[in-house]
Amino acid sequence: MATWADLEREAPEIAAEGRRLLYARGDGKALLATVRGDDLPRIHPINIEIVEGHLYAFLLRSPKRVDLARDGRYALHGHQDPAAPDEFLVRGRARLVTDEAERGRAAGGWPFTVDDSYVLFELAIESALLGSRAADEWPPRYTSWVASGL
């Protein structure tokens, strides 16, 4: 698995545009898809942050938190703006963060107050996909990246 810093180093254009799209509404926001065994995927709106080269999500007790703790597989998609419908997606596995120093670094830049009821996950990245197009253009032009060693 790779970190956000790996994506920035190996595919800087995808990472820069992905960051722009994830932060297009101010704070980092995205849609998180999780799975539970052989069951259907679930979609959840979440806050995310990129801190010191890592993609993080603090989650309260919820189905998405349970899914990530049990299985770890995820897909994260930035919200789309109909006037500029570029799209950004990363896929990978979530890692539960238990190190207090890492948790503190992540919480320091978070857009809301994080207390002990939140659990921190790092979203390790297997692949990234960027789709670019104007509002009246079809199909999008896709650029992809796969983490080294996969």
18 found inside a domain: yes
Q: Percentage of the chain surpassing pLDDT 90?
A: 67
> Is 70 exceeded by the pLDDT of residue 126?
yes
114 found inside a domain: yes
> Is 90 exceeded by the pLDDT of residue 25?
no
Q: What pLDDT does residue 150 have?
A: 64
Q: What pLDDT does residue 81 have?
A: 75
Total-model pTM = 0.92
Q: Which CATH number belongs to the domain containing residue 16 in this structure?
A: 2.30.110.10
Q: Which domain holds residue 107?
A: 4-130
**Rounded Cα gap, residues 106 and 47, in angstroms:** 12
136 found inside a domain: no
Tally of domains in the chain: 1
140 found inside a domain: no
In tens, the pLDDT along 89-119 reads 999 999 999 999 999 999 997 888 899 999 9
Cis peptide before 63 (omega within 30 of 0): no
> Is 80 exceeded by the pLDDT of residue 84?
no
141 found inside a domain: no
Decide: residue 39, CB within 10 A, 0-12 exposed, 13-18 middle, 19+ buried. Answer: exposed
Token pair, residue 128, equals 């990234």
